[in-house]
Structure 1
């Protein structure tokens, strides 16, 4: 039995956090025993992980520079005598790799979830940020990139090819299968009529997601859900520091009454069921998990950048449209989306692209990495890239 401690910065309802929860659900319990250390606080997602039988330890870090968290994490790792420490997200990768190295953990693995062009988790990739990342990366044994795009960026940063492997994010498509009952329940709770047209987006509310573009585009549409029934709705699912500015923008543009900010939620499938179309205006993405989940839910998708799609042009999904950064282009695309007057519209089957990212293959790659290192990870369907 391999004992693994996952170290993550926080457990809000973001893409990296949901990926960790998915891994914990699918890692083979007869081969891998997992625990989680969260640097800040566990939150609702942490409570769900605990309810699933996985211990969650809160380190109690108060800020990015709270150095007192490091010895607490070292003590936890030494006491747990873990075979592997697996870190997720920038702050946890820096502190977690240092702590695991000090505790002399046999294998140290990190997953890079959030490295975009010129930013990492909302912070600019200054020379200091890059230097700190590279210094801590050298203390580990393997670094996992969640897309070929992230692999290329890490190579550009100077990460040694022999330590780098691409294991893409994964999806359990069945979890996002459309449910008419769930659609009705979520719409009812939000006060949205059964025949109103709803466009939505999910994810952390941070400036890099460019959700202000979506709010402006929505305000510029002329779409109606049904003649005489009023305008459509915008559903923004997630929490984050950009929420007050987005709410103020919606108010100033006169669409606050038609825009729903739900905050973070564990029921992403329900929110997708309530939508009629999905929009992802972010200019910088490391993978684009929200787009993949929307496709699994059978929704048409508008997006600006999404490595999950762009890295695999041969598997381009139907009902997907890539747009530039112009507000007018997004308004026009929103207006052109197909609509129906049926309270429960038909949903498309998930495209082959979704099946390409099935969770089972990624789990097998990760277990190999825990036991033998980057060279042991075998490509699956052309999606795994071992840099050599």
Structure 2
């Protein structure tokens, strides 16, 4: 397998730097970045040049590796890099004998909490360029197989676009165990009797971390009910001096103005409710980048020292961070039932498998733009958390059972086998439509026809 991306590494990596969507050359096509650009013709030429550069690099990849199937992730569904979306569609049209599996994680038509939020974010204020991008999105010639990561989007593509898509959910290696860092809490300035409540996602509005703040504030008010030894899955001693810390370990995205504004608002809100936020995103690195430097902390290692994990997000394409919390944590996750969670994850576990923060019907947007959780639902969640703090063995049993059920459905090996089958189908369908395979293929082994496969994303 060859990996093709802006930052591919290793012997099997094929780098196309122009796929990097964060560069100023790409950002100029965002509505908020175009105020100083008056000449649409100039922008059209810049755009076309980007398209051709990416296509030329893709042609080089084809000449070098001769793939029979290419796995394209998100480029044809979310125009975060408009020129790459157009380039990929044109490239697919010019290679009818090559199979393409277009796997879609996110869509521009998916709403955030308010209808049209995301679509507006990806609007291009130049009609000719917007038209090219619209025509490229969900491009569906015979040599393309489509896959989505949830049953909700599978239904949406069929009903809205007539596209039959397979469901290939997100996955996780449930057997992976991150490195334990000795005395990590001490290094972070966290005392032995403090309780750490982790919200491990990026700090962006749709993650609704203000609900985690509400949960902690309500839990703190009931501290007297669980003072004593052996509290929670790590058997901590809770005293009058124990702090309840909201741990925020991610810095990704905070360079974007909207997210920075949200973070500032979140911090002020936490102060108003008496909740201490413990932001360490400037010290946390990806596990793969960790080299043992004293000031660095590998992200997944933090799970060893978090007492309670929360996931209050109201919109997810799937929700891999929930799987991480289940696999790497020891307790029952305090979780909101966002739409995909309700449709594809909760039916696989028992109702006791989460400490529920309700669903989107229990969320309202206040005048400041922050989410408020229904008070009755909030108190029910705190009731259950207090019970588990007092009965940690019961919590660990439920958490372990939930983990095993989700592993059967979403483990990397399970989902990887599903993906391999779909890649085989994409390769054989393309060769069949190009007349390179006989029409009758019933005796063809399931994976015959696959040579090199390339992931592009």
The question of a shared fold, defined as TM-score above 0.5 by the shorter chain, is answered with yes
- Tell which deviates more after alignment, 294-303 or 312-321: 312-321
- Tell which deviates more after alignment, 274-283 or 261-270: 261-270
Contact 1:97 1:139 (C-alpha < 8 Å) held by counterparts: no
Contact 1:284 1:305 (C-alpha < 8 Å) held by counterparts: no
Deviation at 1:352, TM superposition (A): 1.2
1:70-111, Cα deviation, whole Å (9 max, x unpaired): 222101110011523332231257345325326527122222
Change (3 A) 1:127 1:193: closer
Matches within 5 A, 1:235-384: 235-238=247-250, 239-240=252-253, 241=256, 242-254=259-271, 257-262=276-281, 265-266=285-286, 267-297=298-328, 298-306=330-338, 307-308=340-341, 310-317=343-350, 318-324=352-358, 325=363, 326=373, 328=375, 329-330=377-378, 333-334=381-382, 336-337=384-385, 338-339=388-389, 348-349=399-400, 350-373=403-426
Kindly name which structure, 1 or 2, has the bigger radius of gyration based on alpha carbons: 2
- 1:37 counterpart = 2:5: yes
Structure 2 unaligned residues grouped into runs of 5+: 30-45, 125-129, 224-236, 287-297, 364-372, 430-445, 447-457
1:272-328, Cα deviation, whole Å (9 max, x unpaired): 222122211122222121111111123311222253564255521544133232164
Task: Name 2:72's counterpart in structure 1.
Answer: 87
In 2, Cα distance between the equivalents of 1:100 and 1:146? 24
Moved runs in structure 1, 4+ residues, more than 4 A?
119-122, 125-135, 345-348
Aligned residue pairs, count: 329
Task: Name 2:54's counterpart in structure 1.
Answer: 73
- 1:232 counterpart = 2:244: yes
TM-score (norm 2): 0.61
Contact 2:171 2:411 (C-alpha < 8 Å) held by counterparts: yes
Change (3 A) 1:174 1:284: same
Q: What is the SS of the residue equivalent to 2:239? A: coil
Structure 1 unaligned residues grouped into runs of 5+: 1-32, 43-48, 379-388
Task: Name 1:14's counterpart in structure 2.
Answer: none
In 2, Cα distance between the equivalents of 1:79 and 1:305? 45
Contact 1:85 1:100 (C-alpha < 8 Å) held by counterparts: no
1:172-226, Cα deviation, whole Å (9 max, x unpaired): 001257x7x44x5543343222332111122233222222332344344426571
| Equivalent of 1:123 in 115, 118, 127 | 118
Q: What is the SS of the residue equivalent to 1:339? A: helix
| Equivalent of 2:16 in 51, 57, 60 | 57
In 2, Cα distance between the equivalents of 1:52 and 1:237? 32
Change (3 A) 1:219 1:229: same
Greater RCO structure (CA 8 Å; 6+ sep): 2
Contact 1:279 1:301 (C-alpha < 8 Å) held by counterparts: yes
